[in-house]
Amino acid sequence: MPAAIEINSVRKTFKKRRGKTTKALDGVSLVIEEGELFGLLGPNGAGKTTLVRCIATLLIPDQGKIRLLGRDVFRHQLLVRRDIGLVTSGERTLYWKLSGWDNLKFFSALYGMDPRQAEKRIDFLIDLLGLNEFSRDRVERYSSGMRQKLSLARALLHDPKILLLDEPTLGLDPQFSRFIRNFIRQDLNQKDKKTILMTTHYMDEADELCDRIAFIDRGVIVGLDTPSGFKRAIPHEEILELKCQGLFDATSIEKMSRVEKVSLVHENGIVILKVMAQRSEDVLSDVIRDLSAKTKILSINVKEPTLEDVFIYYTGRSLKDEPGSHHE
Amino acid sequence: MSSTPLANNLRVIIAEAVKMWRVWRTYKILIVFWGIFPLLWVLPFVFQGRALVGGLASANFKNLTGTEYYLPYILIGAMVSTYVFSGLWGIGNSLREETYWGTLEYIIISPTNPIVVLLGKVLSEFVYATATVIFQGLVCVLFFGVPITLAKILPIMLIIALLLIGFYSLAIGFAGLTLLIKETHGLVRTMEWFFFLFSPIRYPVEINPITKFVSMFIPLTYALVAIRMIVLFRQPGVSLWNVILILLLMDVASMLVGYITFTQLELRTRRAGTISMH
């Protein structure tokens, strides 16, 4: 039986101004089996969306092959598109001047659905996603979460075998995020057995939902495992995490003999320093001494490694880093 | 999904036209504008005619065109150009609209060829332009005595159909161009003025040898010549069959150019990764 998604040595370079180029994908290879919920994890600009767009036939790679259920996506693109449902993040992916119901009705025609069957399916999906009360309202009156639910309904209209979810919970409030996560795991993956490729830079989301995860950074797959496998692979049982006020230079900490990796993340004006060492207590006093001279330490914690820490271990970068930044 | 591809494509065309109508009707001011526009559009031409030739007819104008009826001549040009410009703005600009709405990618990733969706936009533009032209025609006949009779309507419709097949095909190619060049207003304006300058919409192109020469390559020229011939001249100056043949040949060429331009540019934008960029 062919794999649901088979990506083989895919490369994509974008031309920028003044003859410069950006390598968005640099020889990516992946195999995702049918029924798998697969997470693609990486910071902004890592190549996640580019890869999803290549699979969805929106973007043509410079090199490499992509096969969906055994079919080459560029040779058989109209056929392949019947098997794909796409959800992207972002407010504007629907007709705001149409009702939710009319949006779904229009897209059902694009998927060649019989009008009566389409109407039944639309009613079913609207009910499933809890949009009944608002289905005849214009989308411009919906909240972000409701729009994302409607986007999910659109992706499911033609009952595709493969779902591509690009940052499906980005910008949603916790209640809607929780609903979408549960829906993805329980309804789509466990009950309907759909193959799902989702991108995210929320590590807890990937940890909670995905059967397997690939880390992508600068267009390269840098790690591929199950969430628990990843955590086992990291040779540290604990991570030293210090929250500090104001920017500082962490080079001196990086150079400490028993420190293996250091990362800095800026979050709402607070700098979070993560230090990986064989034993946290061996470096704790040196780190505190060094930092006290440079900044104000707000809190100190010793934590079990998360997927974020695993990502830092593999790449030296945080998932929250902007493209081009690097701490190592 | 058991229907035939033809039935599916027809459903998409109708769904697209209905969608455009539903979006359009939410902008109430547009309904007011298009309700008034067909009644008022004629006034600038009337004032222009009175100022230049003192009324509806001119002997000097007859020397150039073969008819002394200046105003009906211009009104016919304005009516037919309504079709052309609604195609340019409506179809040519339509994919840019989808980009602004954020829905273009979802059209592209569906199993329907985007050209079928564009045909839906053609239908919606055609219905709108036809309604406008019918209003304009009534104004011309009732208030300005333009001699459009029932017997003349059928051949006029045939000429317009031949004009539109070619023109809407080129507009589909133009829509492909807007995927690549993200600024459409400048393009559409340029095309509009090109047609105004080189086809006999507002004046006889015989006035200048260059405009006369360039006009020979524009289908609108032949359509206008034929329609004016049907409406205004008793003795045809050119053979109607020749015009039909020329328009037919131009239609075939336009369909090929429109299709190839659109598919190639859509492919190129998918390679460049700029399909949804503003």
Nearest to A81 among B26, B103, B110 (CB): B110
Q: What's the gap in Å between the CA of A56 and the closest CA on chain B?
A: 7
- Give the helix/strand (H/E) hosting B37: helix B28-40
Average pLDDT, chain A: 88
Considering chain B, what percentage of its residues have pLDDT values greater than 70? 95
In a domain, B70, yes or no: yes
* B102/A91 touch (CB, cutoff 8 Å), yes or no: yes
**B9 pairs with which residues across the strands?**
none
Range of the domain at B75: 5-272
* pLDDT tens digits along A181-216: 998 999 898 999 999 999 987 888 888 899 999 999
Q: What's the gap in Å between the CA of B1 and the closest CA on chain A?
A: 5
Task: Answer with the residue of higher pLDDT: A247 or A239.
Answer: A239
Q: Does B36 lie at the interface with A, CB-CB under 8 angstroms?
A: no
Substitution target from B21, B104, B110, B264 for chain A, most A beta carbons within 10 A: B110
Residue A44 contacts residue A323 (beta carbons within 8 Å)? yes
Cα distance between residue A62 and residue A39, in whole Å: 24
The pLDDT of residue A137 is above 90: yes
pLDDT of residue A18: 77
For the ranges A209-213, A236-240, B204-208, the lowest mean pLDDT is seen at: A236-240
Domains of chain A: 5-99+156-225 (3.40.50.300), 231-315 (3.30.70.260)
Q: Which two structure tokens, joined as six digits, stand for A283?
A: 């470096």
* B3/A114 touch (CB, cutoff 8 Å), yes or no: yes
The pLDDT of residue A123 is above 90: yes
- The total number of residues shown for chain A amounts to 328
Strand pairing report for A84-88 and A162-166 = parallel
Q: Which residue of B has its CA nearest to A82?
A: B111
Mean pLDDT of B85-93: 81
* pLDDT tens digits along B10-68: 999 999 999 999 998 888 887 777 777 766 777 787 777 777 777 667 777 777 777 77
The pLDDT of residue A227 is above 70: yes
Residue B125's SS3 state is helix
Q: Which two structure tokens, joined as six digits, stand for A6?
A: 């088979």
Q: Does B2 lie at the interface with A, CB-CB under 8 angstroms?
A: yes
Q: Which residue of B has its CA nearest to A117?
A: B1
For the ranges A126-135, A147-156, A292-301, B81-90, the lowest mean pLDDT is seen at: B81-90
Residue B173 contacts residue B258 (beta carbons within 8 Å)? yes
Task: Answer with the residue of higher pLDDT: A256 or B63.
Answer: A256
Nearest to A84 among B109, B113, B117 (CB): B109
The pLDDT of residue A292 is above 80: yes
Rounded to two decimals, the ipTM of the complex is: 0.85
Calculate the alpha carbon distances from A20 to A13, A16, A23 in Å: 10, 5, 10
Q: How many CB atoms lie within 10 A of CB B249?
A: 12
Q: How would you classify residue B72: left for phi > 0, otherwise alpha for psi between -120 and 50, otherwise beta? A: alpha
In a domain, B58, yes or no: yes
Q: Does A78 lie at the interface with B, CB-CB under 8 angstroms?
A: yes
Calculate the alpha carbon distances from A264 to A200, A208, A321, B109 in Å: 20, 24, 9, 39
In a domain, B277, yes or no: no
Mean pLDDT of A98-122: 96
pLDDT of residue A325: 44
* A114/B108 touch (CB, cutoff 8 Å), yes or no: no
Indicate the number of domains in chain B.
Answer: 1
In a domain, B72, yes or no: yes
* B15/A110 touch (CB, cutoff 8 Å), yes or no: yes
* pLDDT tens digits along B113-157: 999 999 999 999 889 888 888 888 888 788 777 777 777 888 888
Cα distance between residue B278 and residue B271, in whole Å: 16
* pLDDT tens digits along A258-278: 888 888 887 777 888 888 887
Average pLDDT, chain B: 85
In the block, residue with structure tokens 């259920």 = A69
Q: Does B106 lie at the interface with A, CB-CB under 8 angstroms?
A: yes
In a domain, B278, yes or no: no
Q: Does B23 lie at the interface with A, CB-CB under 8 angstroms?
A: yes
* A58/B22 touch (CB, cutoff 8 Å), yes or no: no
Nearest to A106 among B2, B19, B267 (CB): B19
* pLDDT tens digits along B154-203: 888 899 999 999 989 988 998 888 888 877 788 888 888 898 899 888 88
